[in-house]
Amino acid sequence: MMPEYVRQKLTLDFGQVSYYLVKRIREYIEESKKDGGIIGLSGGIDSSVTSILLSKATSNFHILLMPSSSTTKKDMEDAMKIIKLTKAEDKYTLVNIDEIVNKFSSAVNTSNNVIIGNIKARVRMILLYAFAQKMNYLVVGTGDKSEIMLGYFTKYGDGGVDVLPIGDLYKTQVRMLGSYLGVPEEIVEKPPSPALWEGQTAEGEIGLDYETIDSILYLKFEEMREPEEIAELTKASLDKVMKIINMVKTSQHKRLPPEIFRLSGRAINSDWRYPRQWG
């Protein structure tokens, strides 16, 4: 459960949030010397919200639909609702990735769901960057703060993007923003799923609902509360609280650039740092 105290802390002025994110997307595209932005749309809440923000930031946007055999009919229907909502009927491309994924899985000689699921995510990343290079567009990512903190994404898959507009919003906040932006309620309330294999749901894999997950993340990493206190406040077991904390710790490598072993006085990333945009 989400304590009322946490709910109040996470409830923002989503009109201002929307205005700021749209402004920053537009600015970042210009700063990056790109002509627009491209995004992968799954029909879930994160990609739906980010697609709407991108469409408000620039008329130069393109949407990729990249279904596979594990993509549900409902997800495709929801994705088309967002296509219509963003008036992107002439700004989207559909690429079924099954044939590409099958070639990779055959080459690796595996039927493991996790391995094949990660291949799917990485194939989508490759397609996004190929289209982006062709169009001189920026790849706009759809990960939220909850997923990024938990490491609940594929390294160099859906984590392989140029910018993450909703990366500082917890999943529950993305849902609130989605409601503000007019995302259909069935998408807002739909159980989140990467849909990397049939029947996969994020909350089912993790074992907690996102209101509880977000409460644990907020209380631990923003207010530095002790696990025992967090368990009491959220009514989650101490084991579950520790599971979330450990997921954050063990996924740190996903949030960092590759480790470079220092041999000189100024190793890249540890000593050699400059602003994102050079003068």
Sequence ranges of the binding site for ATP: 40-47, 142, 171, 193
Neighbours of 16 (CB within 10 A): 9
* Best CA proximity match to 17, nearest among 151, 175, 161: 175
Annotated binding site for Mg(2+): 46, 147
Distance CA 65, CA 88 (A): 12
User: Strand, coil or helix: what is 30?
Assistant: helix
Angle at 210 between CA 176 and CA 49, to 5 degrees: 35
* Best CA proximity match to 53, nearest among 140, 157, 114: 140
Annotated binding site: 40-47, 122, 142, 147, 155, 162, 171, 193, 253-254
How many CA atoms are closer than 13 Å to the CA of 252, on its beta-carbon side?
5
Pairing of strands 137-139, 36-40: parallel
